[in-house]
Every structure is written in C-alpha cells, then in structure tokens.
Structure 1
Amino acid sequence: MSWGLISEMGYVGLQTTNLADSVFDATQILGLRETDRDANAVYLSAGEAHHELVYVESDVNGVDGFGLVASDGDALRQIRSRVQDEGFRIVNSKPRLDGIEDGFAFVGPEGFLFEIYIGMQKAGRVERTFGPDRYGHINFHPRDVTGMMKFLHRVLDFRLSDTIGDDYAYFMRCNPDHHGIALIRGEGTLHHHAWQTQSIADLSKLGDRLNAVGRELIWGPVRHGAGHNIAAYFVETTGAVVELYTDLEQIYDDSRSPVVWSEGDNWWNMWSSYRPTEFRKYGITPVVR
C-alpha cells in the first residue's frame, strides 16, 4: 500500500574492501541469504526479492546507492521527469544492477545515488533457521538535513511522519511504515540500514550470534519514540551500522500530521535517557562519481 510515487524501499548497495567478511556479516550474523553473484558483486535478500542488499567489491568502503521501487511505470516516468527538471545528473538510463526490469539512476543531494525502478525478479524462498523478514529503512546524516527532506518530498513524494528539533531530524515514509528514510543532521554519511523481524526475541538472538564470534551490539534493545520500534544495532565490516527491529508504527491515515519532538525529548529511547556517545560516530560516505 502506498499513496505516492514510491511504493516501497528497494535495496541498499554498499561498496566493501572485504567482500567475504561483508557477506559473512549479512548471512551468518544478520541472517540474509545469497541469491546471486557476479564478478565483483554479491546479491542478498531476506525474502523473495532478487536483492535487498548488494555488496560490491571495491578499494573503498562506501555507499554504492539506494534502490527505491516506483509505484508503476507512470510513476517511474514522472520521477524521471522531476529529476531532469531539478537538474540532477542521470548516470544510468537503464537498470544498473541485475534482476531489474526497468529503471534509472541519478546522483542526488550530497552525492548519494538513487536508483528508481520497477519489476525486480523473484529469487524464490528457501528454508531458513533465522533472519529478518525484509529490508525496512535507512538512516543517513546529511549536512543539509532540511534540504534533503525537501528533496525527498518534492522529487520522490515521501511524506513527513515525525520532526525533531529545529533543522535537526526528520522521519519520512513512502507507505504505511512510519519511516523508510530517517534523516539526522550530520556529516554526509549513511549511518545504518535496518531490517524488520518478527519478535523482540530475535534481537536477543542477534546479540548471541555476535557474542559467539567475539563481537557485540553497540546499542539496544531500545524502544524508540519516533517510530515506536524496538531496535538493536551492530557495526558491519564496511563501517556502516545494521539495525534489527520489530514493532514499527504503521500509519494508515496519509493525512496524519507529523509528530513534533524537541531535541531534548526521549525520542531516541522511551525506556531510558541513556544514549551512547559513540553511536553516531559510525557511518560511511557515498562513493564519488
């Protein structure tokens, strides 16, 4: 269900200097499955999609791009027209990755690449012992947070769910999920990509898997105020953060006014005022194109 031009979050693409360790994090820690690979990329998914996460072997760690699913062919064409009218540089006029029927990619604000597409092929389901249900959202930290919020609304038709402070943070949605993209003012980095699971018990099992290989959660479980989700976080090989979450707020009234928080409210954790000081220091920048 969607109300705008984008129907759902599609995929996250990351470049990595250690492809084997990145794939280990995705499959053995998070619980995704490998669906395909080529000479320099591995495709992974939580469900039936050909990919929801793509690791590209590289000499740098960085953001390769974000995939967003257009509602239909008309929406795809309308977004392309908006992108051209805004003067953003289109770098691929056809799908840039395997498994996609139609789409295009452009460099948006602050160097982040967006691929808008329709028609991703199915990879089929296999039996799994653990893992998330699906890819859910991203959180990134643009320098011009209000400018990025306006771009997402004006060009990609995202709606505003929550605002925090004055020019500090925005949570935005493209469907009933409280947020598909969260923005917090920062240094121009992707902070984390997030994955939905069934139960808070899955968050504790994530901690167990990390402990078994000598690693740890960097925060959580916590109950966020903005979005209401219960979440836990760890750092993956690229330096980006991975969130596993459950119980995210669903917004079925598209006319709902944004919830307004002050920076001093406990919007980050309803269970405690504690917030680790190093949490926001993690993240990776977009690859220069």
Structure 2
Amino acid sequence: MSWGAISEMGPVSIRTSNLEQSVFDATQILGLHETRRTGGVSYLAAANVHHELAYVESDVDGLEALGVIAADGDALKDVRRRVEDEGFRVVAEKPTGEGVEDGFTFIGPEGFAFEVSLGLQKEAPTPKGFGPNRYGHFNFHPQDHFGMVKFLTKVLDFRVSDVIGTGGSKGFFLRCNTEHHGIAVLQGRGTFHHHAWEVQSVSELTKVGDRLHALGRDLLWGPVRHGAGNNIACYYQEHSGNVVELYTDIEQIYDDNREPVVWEDGEVWWNQWNDYVPEGFRALGLAPTASKYR
C-alpha cells in the first residue's frame, strides 16, 4: 500500500573496479542470482524481477544511481514535472539499463542520481539454496540532510517515520509504503552507505556470518536490534567498499498519517541491546558518481 507517486524502492546501480569480485560477493555471500550480464553490466536479483541491483564495470568504485518505482504512468509524469519545477537536471529521458518499461534519470541534491522507473520486468522463479527475499532500502549520508529530506518528501512523496535527535536533528527514516523505511538519511560527508535486503528469519543472519567466516572475512556489525524500525540486522562490506545490510522483522506502518517517532538526543536508536557501534562504521561507503551522464 502506498499513498503517493512512489510505490516501492527500485534497483540500486553501483560502479565497481572489479566486476567479477562484486558479482561473487553478491551471489556467494548475499545469495542473489545473476539474471543478465551485458555490456559490462551485471544485473542481480533476489525477488522474481529482472534486477534489484546492478554492478557496472568501471575504473572507479562509486554509486551510479538510486532507483524508485512510480505507482503508475501518471505518477511517473507527475514526478517528472516536479523534478523540472525544482530545477533538477534530467540526464536520461529513458531507462538507462535493461528490464524497465519506462523511466527517467535526474541528478538530485549533492550529485546523487535518481532513476524513477515504471514496469520492472518480471522473471520466472529461480531455485536457490540461500538468499534474501528481496531488496528493501538504502541508507545514505548527505551533507545537508535537511535539504535531502525536503527533496524526498516534496518531489518523491516519502513520509517521515522517525526523527533522530531533537533540535539539530541528525537523521530521518522515510517510507513510501507500509515498510518503516525505504530510505534512511543521516547527516554525513555526502556518501552512500549501504543497501539492505530482507531475509526470512534471524537464522539467515547467522548464516551470512558463516559464509563470510569460510572466506576468511568478517561481519562488520551485528546482529543488532535497531530502535528505529525495530528490525534485527547485520552488516558486511563488499568489494566496492559499499556496505550491505541483511535484516528481518522490520516494523510495518499501516496508518498513513502516523506522526513520526522522535528519538531524543542521547537515546540509543541504533541498537536496543547495547550502545556499541564499530569504530569507523559510518565512514564506510561510496561517493556518488555521475560521470556516466556528462
């Protein structure tokens, strides 16, 4: 259920300096399946769609584009008009990759590229031994987080679920449907931090730890029980430098007009079990790169 122009989260596109390693991480650690590979682009998915994640072969590691799905054709046109009214630069009038019926891409605040899509191609179910149910949300750290939230609510119809910190708020969690958040915005240095995937149960979080251990790698953090969203989650870092979250048991909000939950300064919103955060965790992630569109 959604109320506005955007009904769900769309694919994330990431530039990688080692396509094979990024695909290995996505398939052998996260558990996605590769649906297509063409022109130096690997398309990957957990759900029965063309793709939820794309890795683009490049000489740099960076974020290419963040995707959202328009509710219908009229909604797509409405968002296109709002983008023009706000003065954002449209850099592609049609979908830039495969598997999408219609859409456009524009450069939003702080150089982040957003691709608004319609008609994501469905795929037949693919048998798999492990993996998430679907892609769920992303987290990024713009320098002007207030400006980013204004953009997300005004142009893309997101609603604020939680506010982190009073007075000079540090962050916001926003939703476009019943799931507690599709986007998390925390004040930072202008980078993309992680993309997140829903798994079936807590046991799946322990299994990703086992897979990492077998490869001589480690979980970055977790499992933890977040306060904002109430989800249980764990995190690891993949080849490009991006962070990947797996989560389960996230809050669902069925009251479209629910007032945001406000976390006071000093409240431990990031983990209900303790206040530990790994050193340097928030410094990880990727810078946006719009070089494709220049």
Q: How does 1:124-203 map to 2 (within 5 A)?
A: 124-165=124-165, 166-203=168-205
Q: Figure out how many residues of one structure are paired with residues of the other and give that number.
A: 289
Equivalent in the alignment of 1:209: 211
Inter-partner Cα distance in structure 2 for 1:200 and 1:90? 41
Q: Percent identity?
A: 60
Q: What's the counterpart of residue 35 of structure 2? A: 35
- In the alignment, which residue of structure 2 is the partner of 1:260? 262
- Opposite residue 2 of structure 2, the aligned amino acid is S
SS at match of 2:273: coil
**2:128 aligned counterpart, secondary structure:** coil
SS at match of 1:110: helix
Shift of 1:63: 0.4
Q: Using the alignment, how far apart are the partners of 1:236 and 1:143 within structure 2?
A: 24
Q: Which amino acid aligns with 1:95?
A: P
Structure 2 SS opposite 1:119: strand
Between 159-168 and 79-88, report the one with greater CA deviation.
Answer: 159-168
Where does structure 1 differ by over 3 angstroms across 4 or more consecutive aligned residues? none
Deviation at 1:71, TM superposition (A): 0.3
Once the two structures are overlaid, the 10-residue window that deviates more, 50-59 or 160-169, is: 160-169
Q: Is it true that 1:270 corresponds to 2:254 in the alignment?
A: no
Indicate if the aligned counterparts of 2:30 and 2:208 stay in contact, CA closer than 8 A. yes
Q: How does 1:54-93 map to 2 (within 5 A)?
A: 54-93=54-93
Q: TM-score, normalised by structure 2?
A: 0.97
- Counterpart of 2:225 in structure 1 is 223
Work out whether 1:235 is the aligned partner of 2:237: yes
| CA RMSD of superposed structures (Å) | 0.7
One-letter amino acid of the structure 1 residue matched with residue 159 of structure 2: R
Q: CA deviation at 1:230?
A: 0.2
Distance apart, 1:263 and its partner CA:
3.4
**Does residue 52 in structure 1 map to residue 46 in structure 2?**
no
* 1:271 CA drift (Å): 0.5
Unaligned runs of 5+ in 1: none
CA distance in 1, matches of 2:272, 2:60: 37
Q: Distance in 2 between matches of 1:275 and 1:49?
A: 34
Distance across 2 between alignment mates of 1:119 and 1:191: 27
SS in 1 for 2:151: helix
For 2:67 and 2:186, how far apart are their aligned partners in 1? 20
Q: Report if aligned partners of 2:40, 2:56 keep a CA contact under 8 Å in 1.
A: yes
**In the aligned structure 1, how far is the partner of 2:141 from the partner of 2:287?**
10
The letter of the residue matching 1:17 is: S
Contact 2:64 2:290 in 1 (8 A): no
Letter in structure 2 aligned against 1:130: F
